[in-house]
Amino acid sequence: MSGDEDKDSKTEDPTEKKIRDAFDKGNVPFAREVPAFASVLGALLFVVFFLPSSVGRVTYGLKGIFEKPEDWRIITGEDALAIFKHLFWEASIILLPAFAILMTFGLAASIFQNIPRPVLDRIQPKWNRLSIPGGFGRIFGKKGMVEFAKNMAKVMVISLIIALVMRSDFMDILQIMYVDPGAITQIISDHTITIFIVVLLSTAVLAIVDIFATRHFWYEDLRMTKQEIKDEMKQSDGDPMVKARQRSLARDRARKRMMADVPRATLVVANPTHYAVALRYDAEETGAPIVVAMGQDLIALRIREIAEEHEIPVFEDPPLARSMFAQVSLGTLIPSEFYQAVAELIHRIYDKSPR
């Protein structure tokens, strides 16, 4: 019951990170019918293009055994071994191309679905899989029985289709015993190719259905709950409370550095209680006054206190203070529209300085 509730709660599409983690762990959609289709296709190509010539070569190679059996007497173990080697090498003419084609098509079917990648988690030994009761559970459990039923249904359906297709040739197959031996091979080859084509078309339909079904169920299994989405965002972006704390600490450090620069200011433009902007002007350093500190309310009062402690002139000009606070940035030169107003204040400072 709880599994159904948990599945129903997974209403969100999987994130890119969830999909990437699944691929990294080897959890990829894999349609089992695609390799079956590839194997049938490879077998059909082998029967059509390689089997006739291979059978001819094998027949020619075995001709000596059947025509002159006296040359192949089996008296000792070495004689039996010699015949076995001869038969093995003759059979390899058929088996090796078949093995190469089936292996190539099988690998191509796997690569077509997913690019191979090393997954260490899959090759690590897991001792819990050595459990005999667990093995019986996997084979004879609900999932295992469902897979068995699917395979049986697949075999029955394909067999029925083959029977329906070959029904018209049934009498021809029965008459094969009366046909010239030289034509038997061709007749068997033709019927074999027909059977392979029927099986190929059937497995092609199954493979297409299996590809879409496998990817659909794989995607559904990766769906996430809203809480999982939130937890993933916290892991990737960091806990909001921790980040808020970090931003607060960063602002405190920046504020302390700013307050440490106030004694270097040339003047402070202030609204009596709300705003304060500390400016430094040195013709040899910059072409215009630079903002070394700015703030409002308590920070503005603290800037004024530090300025007064270091005997830095404080000019109360509410309109200018408000305008500058809204338009200037810390550590930058003041905009050109404030040049004249600030220049007048600096001129007043120089006029009051002792000569």
What are the domain boundaries of the chain? 2-233, 242-352
Q: What pLDDT was estimated at residue 354? A: 46
Are 269 and 313 within 8 A, CB to CB? no
Contact residues for 161 (Cβ-Cβ < 8 A; gap 6+) = 198, 202
Distance CA 275, CA 269 (A): 8
**3-state secondary structure (DSSP) of residue 64:** helix
DSSP string, 113-159: HS-----HHHHS--GGGG-HHHHHHHHHSHHHHHHHHHHHHHHHHHH
Are 308 and 314 within 8 A, CB to CB? yes
Which tokens in the block code for residue 172?
């021809």
Q: What pLDDT was estimated at residue 186? A: 66
Low-confidence ranges of the chain (pLDDT < 70): 1-8, 53-77, 79, 83, 86, 116-144, 146, 165-166, 168-188, 235-242, 352-355
The string of pLDDT tens digits covering residues 146-158 is 677 777 877 887 7
Q: Classify domain 242-352 by CATH number.
A: 3.40.1690.10
The CB density around residue 270, as the number of other CB atoms within 10 Å, is 24
Distance CA 229, CA 306 (A): 49
Q: What pLDDT was estimated at residue 98? A: 82
